[in-house]
Amino acid sequence: MIDRSLLHTGGVAKDKNRQKKQPKKPKQSSKPTGRDDDAEPRVWTSQKYGAVPLVQHPESGGWTCDPSWQPKLPRGAVRGDPSKQPWYWGTPEYYYTDIHRTCVQCGQDFVFSGEEQKFWYETLQFIPDSTAIRCQRCRRAKRTEKAIRARLANASAAVDDRDARSLLEYAAALVEFIEVTSTGSAAKAIAAARKAARLEKASPEPHYWEGRAQELAHQPDKANACYRRFLETAMAPGVAATVPRRLVADAEERLLPPEQRAERAQTRKRWENKRKKKPKRSKPL
């Protein structure tokens, strides 16, 4: 007789189907495969920007931060342009925020603004390791010092004992160098100015630069005598038109008593500060 239970269960045929092994499905890998049809988006976790989307580099084929991605800007931030940052190898600067620092030279607090960072890293092409360690005032002074050093080097190379103009340029460059750096020999500036005076006896400028050098040598009486000699020579007929007016005004001020000189310096400083605060007029369109 036929077992009726086999009619519903399929009998031996069902058992054979059970014995067949089903093919195993390949395991999904969590690592990037580099295929363009990958469904899962790649991201890079940045401490500053959070989840940064990744794209494949057109040349190397590797994964890199998306340069076209634009995260939400924090308040006061300046948008960065990764296309102008050829130095970046990891995460580009998508925006710049103000950084508060302390000047290593004067010790005052200053702000390294986002706009200034953008200018540094995208216009000047500075690498990210370079950062502002001095305030703007000290940076300007340092650039001025470099220019003064270059001027003195050029004047020293071109000085000629038979040329009064080269001697005067050397004396002026050395005086300026001593005033800014507090180093150098005032005696050399005095000697150069005196040589120029012997070569051009009618010229008043050597007396002025000797007076400046005598001040740096802490000889106020000799300095005042040089300034008076300079003014007397500068007022001679046919000479006044050839003398720079700024030298005449400076010599007259240096002959004033210390109280009046200090008062004039304060007035000049107030005027300069007022001129800096005055808003610039916009040009008509």
Residue 58: pLDDT band (50, 70, 90) is: confident
CA distance 203 to 277: 41
Tokens of 109: 């607090």
The per-residue pLDDT for range 136-150, each reduced to its tens digit, is: 888 988 888 899 999
Residue that has been written with the tokens 């000629």 in this structure: 160
Whether 186 and 216 have beta carbons less than 8 Å apart is answered as yes
pTM (two decimals): 0.57
The pLDDT of residue 274 is: 67
Q: Read off the pLDDT of residues 167-186 as tens digits, 9 standing for 90 and up.
A: 999 999 999 999 988 999 99
Label the pairing between strands 95-96 and 78-79.
antiparallel
What is the distance between the terminal CA atoms of the chain, rounded to a whole angstrom? Answer: 110
Measured in degrees and rounded to the nearest 5, phi and psi for residue 95 equal: -155, 160
| CATH 1.25.40.10 boundaries in the chain | 138-257
Burial of 189 (0-12, 13-18, 19+ CB in 10 A): buried
Give residue 125's pLDDT band: very low, low, confident or very high (50, 70, 90). Answer: confident
Bridge partners (DSSP) listed for residue 43 = 53
Burial code of 258-267, b = ≥16 C-beta within 10 A, e = fewer? eeeeeeeeee
- Residue 282 in this model has a pLDDT that exceeds 80: no
Q: Answer yes or no: are the C-beta atoms of 251 and 205 closer than 8 Å.
A: no
| H/E segment holding residue 192 | helix 186-199
Token pair of 208 as six digits: 């002025």
Asked if 97 contacts 77 with a C-beta cutoff of 8 angstroms, the reply is yes
Which of the listed CATH numbers 3.40.50.720, 3.40.190.10, 1.25.40.10, 3.10.20.740 matches domain 138-257? 1.25.40.10
